[in-house]
Amino acid sequence: MLIRLEQIDKRYKTLRRTREVFSGLNLTIDDGKFTLLKGESGSGKSTLINLLLGFTPADSGKVYYEDTEFTGLDESSKAAFRRENIGVVTQDSSLISYLTVDENIVLAAGEGKLSRKEREDLLDIVGLKDCIDAYPGELSGGEIKRAAIARAVAGNPHTILMDEPTANLDKENVRRVLNLLRKKAAEGNTVIISSHEEDAREYADVTVDLDLAKE
């Protein structure tokens, strides 16, 4: 799905300050490509991802997924649209604590959609084959992050949106995650991530620099 942002204004107003993050932002995100969002800390990467997910509202402007005006949907329709179409990893993604890694994957993929072997293979890609039957409380921070990434792609959503999926991972695991996302884009999925990782540029088809996009 082609994603379009039209004339997006976004500011955060608190008692002490008003922070204008986007003013008249127009952006088209290609279908079936791997798009990297980069920019300084505070440039609006997480805000943009949260606007695309409907987790934070724009002050004005529209977000379209193909012909669907996402910003025009009510909250429950947005949730249904996300469930149907989007694999999500946020900056603080966690697993469901009383389910094993495997059970978390089954829940996301849908009962009976992936065999045990397919789930093992998916976890193997992110280096977690040995953790399949572990509970989240038995995993490290980086392992939880990688399990959340596997879970986000398990249901084969068309669009994959991840905020800093490679943060706090070592080089080997950064490579694993970026390769997985690269493969997803090659299969025709739309992949959008934010990252500080310089290496990510080599994997992405398109880099959007939010420091420049706003000028």
**Of 106 and 200, which has the nearer Cβ to ligand ATP?**
200
- Residues 36 and 38: their CA atoms lie apart, in Å, by 6
For residues 37 and 23, what is the distance between their CA atoms, to the nearest angstrom?
A: 17
d(CA 197, CA 186): 21
Smallest gap, in angstroms, from Cβ of residue 155 to ligand ATP? 26
Report, in Å, the least distance between residue 191 CB and ligand ATP.
Answer: 18
The nearer residue to ligand ATP, 42 or 110, going by C-beta atoms, is 42
Q: Which of 2, 19, 110, 121 binds ligand ATP (CB under 6 A)?
A: 19
- In the block, residue with structure tokens 């995993």: 139
Q: How far is the CB of 40 from ligand ATP (least distance, A)?
A: 7
- Dihedral, CA of residue 33, residue 198, residue 139 and residue 160, to nearest 10: -10
Is 195 an interacting residue with respect to ligand ATP (CB under 6 A)?
no
Closer Cβ to ligand ATP, 39 or 54, answer by number: 39
Nearer to Mg ion, 45 or 184 (CB): 45
Among 46, 93, 100, 190, binds Mg ion (CB under 5 A): 46
Q: Look up residue 101 and give its two tokens.
A: 């890694």
Q: What is the DSSP string of 110-122?
A: -TTSS-HHHHHHH
Q: Which of 3, 5, 8, 21 binds ligand ATP (CB under 6 A)?
A: 21
Number of residues that bind ligand ATP (CB under 6 A): 12
User: How far is residue 63's CA from residue 92's CA, in Å, rounded to a whole number?
Assistant: 24
Give 46 or 173: the residue with its C-beta nearer to ligand ATP. 46
The 10 Å Cβ neighbour count of residue 99 is 14
Report d(CA 84, CA 200) in Å as an integer: 27
Taking CB under 6 A as the criterion, which residues in 30-59 touch ligand ATP? Answer: 39, 41-47
Shortest CB 171 distance to ligand ATP, Å? 20
* In the complex, minimum distance from the CB of residue 121 to ligand ATP, in angstroms, rounded to a whole number: 32
Q: What pairs with residue 64 in β-bridges?
A: 4, 69
Q: Do strands 190-194 and 18-29 pair parallel, antiparallel, or not at all (unpaired)?
A: unpaired
Which residues sit at the interface with Mg ion, rule CB under 5 A?
A: 45-46
